[in-house]
Amino acid sequence: ILKHNGFCVAPTLCCTNEICQRSMQCA
């Protein structure tokens, strides 16, 4: 999942991705 300004480019995927959740805030 790509990052952008500390948020996931795809917030929905971020919310379901543990690595993304831990590495940045979920938009």
CA-CA distance, 9 to 17, in Å (whole number)? 12
How many domains, the chain? 1
> Measured at the alpha carbon of residue 6, what is the angle toward residues 5 and 9, in degrees to the nearest 5?
75
Given a contact cutoff of 8 angstroms between Cβ atoms, the answer to whether 1 and 13 are in contact is yes
pLDDT at residue 22 in the model: 72
Q: Which of 10, 26, 18, 23 is nearest to 1 (CA)?
A: 10
pLDDT at residue 5 in the model: 54
Range of the domain at 8: 1-27
pTM of the model: 0.27
Summarize pLDDT for 8-19 with one digit per residue, the tens: 666 666 666 777
pLDDT at residue 4 in the model: 54
What are the phi and psi torsion angles at 4 (to 5°)? -155, 115
pLDDT at residue 14 in the model: 66
